[in-house]
Structure 1
């Protein structure tokens, strides 16, 4: 007897968007506009006093540029505290950002000056680390809706809530009945995707990291150098906002 498959057996239909965002009173936008370094925003931890502590990577073409950004972050009236982790100058095992120098930061600040709550309230789910450079945030988000008019209305609501300027740099539809990989993961080679998914499976990108690069290379049955090459190429495709971005009238 033939069985009838229901919609619940399929992944939800939706859209993957790359958003370029500016909004007022944001320390990340101010410090990246004022210096020659950039930021990656990873994870946010809620504090008991209502503040949040975010994990960021500051990176740039030189140590001086990264230091300038850290100094600007510390002096910003929009931040409460800045802790710099004593690790990672230049390229090392992490290999997840461009540039020649990088430092890990924990920054405590007021969450009311972020755009994340406004995005989440309209159903936009963050898919990867947010890249901030030259005074602009680059968000990769998923939303369970494919109707252009409704998406336009949702983004208008976010703009109003955050007094934000939002440009849709790229939009792709994720069809519930389409088995192709949506979004930027489709840009990866088979080997890059296998290694990247293995790294995610073993919490290589967790903080603190739960597996070393050498251990991950052994699981992937490749040398550490080869593993890092695959990961760096995959991360560049997944995180670089300049890749295959086409402005959309949304």
Structure 2
């Protein structure tokens, strides 16, 4: 789960940004997103009483009913101590476009030992953006100082062993400097926008020359050409971020 946001204003020299898919046991966010149709963005965590922590989360989904179902599941979870709704919206507070068709803000109190945040942070993995939790999986974007791949592999293995975690590295990006404006923009997409964008990438829609026509892609997605273009337009507006150069290596 998210512990802190990226350190504001600081610019770091050469390093590596990893995109991680994580599952680990005894985590309320993984359990409720696996059971309910809505998803979560984890922003920041604050110390609470009795050794607990309170996390700030955005719940997002296709409908308010989906969000209600997730909130009920969170409140009923054996792994949470309290769930409080906030009268704020993600788009207003964070200056971005709200993910999904409906959103709600939560403060949730829980036991910090049931999270993986400290295990990552103590090994030099700095959270770069809100953690996206979807369908029982956490999606992290983390920065680590310039170390060789063997060292990265060793650190990840330590996290896996300490929390009995499944961790998959899905993307490695290298860059000379990393600012505080980098976000995990994929987390801002609705489920449908993400599906259509990934389908377009899979079929070479953004290749040169283009691997599939707009009409063919719309037929593949079983939607109209107009609807396809609208989904792609919205996804592209949220994803546009030229700062990261993707590397092809993996751990």
TM-score relative to the length of structure 2: 0.66
What's the CA shift string for 1:99-155, capped at 9, x where partnerless?
111110000000000000100111100011101001010111011133111100010
Does 2:239 correspond to 1:237?
Answer: yes
Q: What runs of 5+ residues in structure 2 fail to find an aligned partner?
A: 1-10, 186-233
Q: Is the 8 A contact 2:38 2:66 kept in 1?
A: yes
Q: Secondary structure at the match of 2:29?
A: helix
Counterpart in 2 of 1:4?
none
Q: Secondary structure at the match of 2:75?
A: helix
Counterpart in 1 of 2:203?
none
1: distance between equivalents of 2:49 and 2:69?
Answer: 30
Q: In the TM superposition, what is the alpha-carbon distance from 1:233 to its structure 2 partner?
A: 7.0
TM-score relative to the length of structure 1: 0.67
Residues 80, 153 of structure 1: alpha-carbon distance in 2 compared, 3 angstrom cutoff: same
Counterpart in 1 of 2:230?
none
Which structure 2 residues correspond to residues 1-250 of structure 1 after superposition, within 5 A?
11-88=12-89, 96-175=97-176, 185=182, 236-237=238-239, 249-250=250-251
Q: Is the 8 A contact 2:30 2:137 kept in 1?
A: yes
Q: Is the 8 A contact 1:169 1:248 kept in 2?
A: no
Q: What runs of 5+ residues in structure 1 fail to find an aligned partner?
A: 1-9, 189-231
Q: Secondary structure at the match of 1:123?
A: coil
Q: Secondary structure at the match of 1:49?
A: coil
Q: Secondary structure at the match of 2:98?
A: coil
Q: In the TM superposition, what is the alpha-carbon distance from 1:187 to its structure 2 partner?
A: 11
Q: Secondary structure at the match of 1:97?
A: coil
2: distance between equivalents of 1:187 and 1:130?
Answer: 8
- What is the root-mean-square deviation in Å for CA atoms of aligned residues? 3.4
Q: Is the 8 A contact 2:120 2:126 kept in 1?
A: yes
Q: Is the 8 A contact 1:19 1:167 kept in 2?
A: yes
Number of matched pairs? 190
